[in-house]
């Protein structure tokens, strides 16, 4: 009996669907690219539950005949290529002929299409890979494809889909860069019957980008770039070297021949071009690449797009040439940018060098008009001031008192009993009476000195525990059998996180009111997402400590903030929290937990901040009052212990 079997058509389709269709945004991508190849000028996408339940893509392209509509569901049936030579010169977005049969094999799919010359439209219905119906119907010219219940017949695949909000976010991101790539096309996105995006076609890409990223996009720190060489071209926009912590635009898009591409060669060229400038001006931002948006043109015969099922990766035949072109283009643009910034300073230096030396008359006028302070004028005024020798060893108080007593005098602080606990006789129940004329003071003072076994009771908590910092980042505390090391940022993050979680469960919030409310302008391309996020979770935000109000357009007004955000930084922290929250929600769909983690991460004290012993002690006490004091909210360890035995082993005292 043969062990090797030929897989059925249904199984083959589902395997192929696993390569092409990863999530709802993959379906939107394939159908929208088909519409673009069909010459559409208006594309409308409607989704429900983030595309999990419904995806509908309508276009006004040239449509298909009845026969073509049937052939479109055959694997590797396409109108884009004919011969092997065509694969080397691909000019369309799609060409593999796998999208429609793959989508139809994992969903309920309905296609309605009509050519302009036809009187009626053709309707084709598929159910999880099986043809159910072919009929005629009425429709406008173009194509309308409806996909329902994606992966419903494959529960093992469907459970890997994220929440509706996360899936919608991926569709929104795809819409953003497609609308930038094709400014002449009108795009409309509808979710749950509500229009989220509506971009009208325009011939000016700058107008479309202002529509997507906001009217202030080109007023930002943007550098236009454009280069052409030997059939290759690079154009677009990169951002300069200004601090971007208070900015929400954080895009990094590379488009090659009209496709959104993620390529390590291009990423390396861009990063290496930025790196010398970042190290020179902002060394603390090493490894960070500012936003960019580049449209790259490569001769079709020098690129292979047939290396990834979803066409997200490509292979360049002249990889080094493209790397050098992109790197050189960005380096030249950043050099000009830097020269322009320092041009005014350079002019001032040149002007200063051109000024001749002051004449004798000018010098005498200056001396007579300007009063120059001299040391002699200060000597009399400050001559009585006295400063302790900072480098002298501290003098023990009992020795100082004995010395003073031998001379027949006692300091005022000793008489009043205000100088430390060692000089206090009340702690032991004894009475100490000292008169100014007494010559036998030392005896009464020595009698009040506590026995050694009780001296620990007189030490304050900081002296007893005696925490100290290593590089202003880690707190060290000696314990009975070794040493405890605490990451101060992670520890404070855990403390704040648990406080915020308690508030989300009903504990009263602690807020601080802003003297001047902060108005945050949300870029249009993420405004819909953030607005819905805020609307759905307004109650949780208020419980946490934020008081927000919606302003005109896509703006938010922040009136009150959690008390833990002591370093508000003029509102930059709120922008950081929004950015952190977006990445947290990618991993964790619990908004309450994600919000608490985001705020805790930004509000916690940072590594490198010096702390007093009292502050270190307060942090340690707060940490051990937490339910989980051993890990930060993201699961990293925040406290470790090294025993004396481990130290002995390190120093080879123990084998």
Residue 54: pLDDT over 50 = yes
Identify the weakest region by mean pLDDT among 83-87, 241-245, 611-615. 83-87
Q: Are 202 and 184 in contact (CB under 8 A)?
A: yes
Tens of pLDDT, residues 166-178: 899 889 988 888 8
Identify the weakest region by mean pLDDT among 100-104, 579-583, 606-610. 579-583
Fold of 9-199: Heat Shock Protein 90 (3.30.565)
CA–CA dist 388, 374 (Å, integer):
25
Ranked by mean pLDDT, which of 231-235, 349-353, 368-372, 439-443 comes out on top? Answer: 231-235
Whole-number pLDDT of residue 643: 87
Residue 412: pLDDT over 80 = no
Whole-number pLDDT of residue 86: 57
Whole-number pLDDT of residue 457: 46
Whole-number pLDDT of residue 122: 94
Fold of 220-341: Ribosomal Protein S5; domain 2 (3.30.230)
Compute the average pLDDT of residues 26-52.
92
Residue 598: pLDDT over 50 = yes
Tens of pLDDT, residues 454-491: 454 445 656 667 888 999 999 998 888 888 899 999 99
Tell me how far CA of residue 82 lies from CA of 76, 88, 398, in angstroms: 11, 11, 101
Ranked by mean pLDDT, which of 36-50, 572-586, 596-610 comes out on top? Answer: 36-50
Extended beta strands in 311-383, E state: 315-316
Q: Are 559 and 515 in contact (CB under 8 A)?
A: no
Confidence class of residue 369 from pLDDT cuts 50, 70 and 90?
low
Ranked by mean pLDDT, which of 457-466, 521-530, 595-604 comes out on top? Answer: 595-604
Q: Is the pTM of this model over 0.75?
A: no
- Average pLDDT value for the chain: 77
Residue 391: pLDDT over 50 = no
What are residue 127's DSSP bridge partners? 108, 130
Tell me how far CA of residue 475 lies from CA of 403, 478, 493, in angstroms: 39, 10, 15
Neighbouring residues of 484: CB distance < 8 A, sequence distance ≥ 6: 476, 477, 478, 639, 640, 641
Phi, psi (rounded to 5 degrees) for 254? -125, 125
* Of 245 and 185, more confident: 185
- The DSSP secondary structure of 450-502, one letter per residue, reads PPGGGHHHHS-HHHHH--EEETTTEEEEEETTEEEEEEHHHHHHHHHHHHHHH
Among residues 208, 206, 240, the alpha carbon closest in space to that of 223 is found at 240
Whole-number pLDDT of residue 456: 47
State the DSSP code for 631. B
Helix, strand, or coil (residue 443): helix
Strand order through the sheet with 547-550 = 511-521, 555-562, 547-550
Listed in order, the ranges of the chain carrying CATH 3.30.230.10 are: 220-341
Residue holding tokens 């208020």?
542
Percent of the chain topping pLDDT 90:
22
Whole-number pLDDT of residue 108: 93
| Tokens of residue 111, six digits | 């296609």
Percent of the chain topping pLDDT 70:
71
Residue 601: pLDDT over 90 = no
Whole-number pLDDT of residue 407: 47
Residue 295: pLDDT over 60 = yes
Q: Are 503 and 544 in contact (CB under 8 A)?
A: yes
Tens of pLDDT, residues 528-567: 777 777 777 888 888 888 888 876 667 788 888 888 887 6
Listed in order, the ranges of the chain carrying CATH 3.30.1370.100 are: 474-641
Give how far the C-alpha of residue 465 lies from the chain's centroid of Cα atoms, to the nearest Å.
Answer: 38
- The DSSP secondary structure of 67-93, one letter per residue, reads HHHHHTTSTT--SS--SHHHHHT--SS
Confidence class of residue 221 from pLDDT cuts 50, 70 and 90?
confident
Q: Are 57 and 187 in contact (CB under 8 A)?
A: no
Residue 119: pLDDT over 50 = yes
CA–CA dist 559, 413 (Å, integer):
49
* Of 299 and 398, more confident: 299
Name the CATH architecture for the domain at 474-641. Answer: 2-Layer Sandwich (3.30)
Whole-number pLDDT of residue 21: 83
Ranked by mean pLDDT, which of 4-18, 153-167, 185-199 comes out on top? Answer: 185-199
């Amino acid at each position: 009996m043969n062990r090797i079997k030929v897989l059925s058509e249904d199984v083959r389709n589902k395997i192929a669907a696993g390569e092409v269709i990863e999530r709802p945004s993959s379906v939107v991508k394939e159908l929208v690219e088909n519409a673009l190849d069909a010459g559409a000028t208006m594309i409308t996408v409607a989704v429900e539950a983030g595309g999990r339940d419904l995806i509908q893509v309508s276009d006004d392209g040239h449509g298909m005949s009845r026969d073509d509509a049937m052939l479109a569901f055959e694997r590797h049936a396409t109108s884009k290529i004919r011969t092997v030579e065509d694969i080397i010169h691909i000019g369309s977005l799609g060409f593999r002929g796998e999208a429609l049969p793959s989508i139809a094999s994992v969903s309920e799919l309905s296609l309605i299409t009509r050519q302009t010359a036809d009187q009626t439209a053709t309707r084709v219905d598929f159910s999880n890979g099986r043809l159910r119906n072919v009929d005629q119907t009425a429709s406008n010219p173009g194509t309308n494809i409806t996909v329902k219940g994606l992966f419903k017949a494959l529960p093992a695949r469907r459970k890997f889909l994220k929440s509706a909000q996360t899936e919608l976010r991926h569709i929104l991101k795809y819409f953003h860069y497609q609308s930038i790539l094709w400014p002449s096309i009108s795009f409309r996105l509808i979710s749950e019957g509500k229009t989220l995006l509506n971009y009208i076609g325009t011939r000016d890409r700058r107008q479309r980008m202002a529509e997507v990223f906001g009217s202030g996009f080109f007023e930002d720190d943007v550098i236009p770039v454009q280069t052409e060489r030997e059939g290759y071209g690079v154009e677009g926009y990169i951002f300069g070297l200004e601090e971007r912590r208070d900015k929400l635009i954080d895009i990094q898009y590379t488009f090659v021949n009209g496709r959104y591409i993620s390529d390590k060669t291009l990423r390396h060229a861009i990063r290496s071009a930025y790196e010398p400038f970042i190290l020179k001006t902002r060394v603390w931002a090493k490894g960070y690449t500012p936003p960019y948006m580049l449209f790259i043109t490569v001769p079709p015969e020098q690129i292979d797009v047939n290396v990834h099922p979803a066409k997200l990766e490509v292979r360049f035949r002249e990889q080094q040439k493209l790397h050098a072109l992109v790197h050189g283009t960005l380096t030249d643009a950043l050099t000009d940018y830097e020269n322009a910034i320092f041009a005014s300073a350079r002019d001032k230096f040149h002007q200063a060098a051109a000024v001749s030396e002051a004449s004798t008359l000018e010098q005498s006028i200056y001396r007579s008009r300007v009063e120059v302070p001299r040391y002699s004028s200060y000597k009399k005024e400050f001559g009585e001031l006295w400063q302790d020798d900072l480098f002298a060893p501290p003098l023990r108080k009992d020795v100082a008192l004995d010395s003073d007593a031998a001379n027949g005098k006692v300091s005022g602080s000793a008489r009043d009993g205000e100088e430390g606990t060692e000089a206090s006789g009340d702690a032991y129940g004894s009475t100490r009476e000292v008169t100014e004329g007494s010559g036998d003071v030392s005896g009464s003072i020595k009698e009040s000195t506590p026995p050694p076994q009780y001296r620990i009771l007189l030490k304050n908590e900081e002296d007893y525990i005696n925490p100290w910092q290593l590089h202003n980042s880690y707190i060290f505390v000696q314990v009975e059998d070794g040493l405890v090391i605490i990451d101060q940022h992670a520890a404070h993050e855990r403390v704040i996180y648990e406080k915020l979680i308690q508030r989300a469960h009903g504990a009263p919030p602690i807020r601080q009111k802003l003297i001047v409310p902060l108005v945050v302008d949300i870029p249009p391309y993420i405004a819909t997402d953030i607005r819905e996020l805020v609307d759905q979770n307004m109650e949780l935000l208020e419980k946490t400590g934020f008081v927000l109000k919606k302003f005109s357009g896509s703006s938010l007004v922040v009136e009150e903030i959690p008390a833990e955000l002591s370093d508000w930084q003029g509102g930059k922290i709120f922008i950081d929290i929004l950015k952190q929250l977006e990445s947290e929600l990618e991993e964790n769909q619990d908004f309450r937990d994600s919000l608490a983690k985001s705020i805790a991460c930004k509000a916690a004290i940072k590594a490198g901040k010096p702390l007093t012993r009292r502050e270190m002690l307060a942090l340690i006490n707060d940490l051990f009052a937490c339910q989980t004091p051993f890990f930060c909210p993201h699961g990293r360890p925040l406290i470790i212990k090294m025993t004396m035995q481990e130290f002995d082993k390190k120093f080879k005292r123990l084998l």
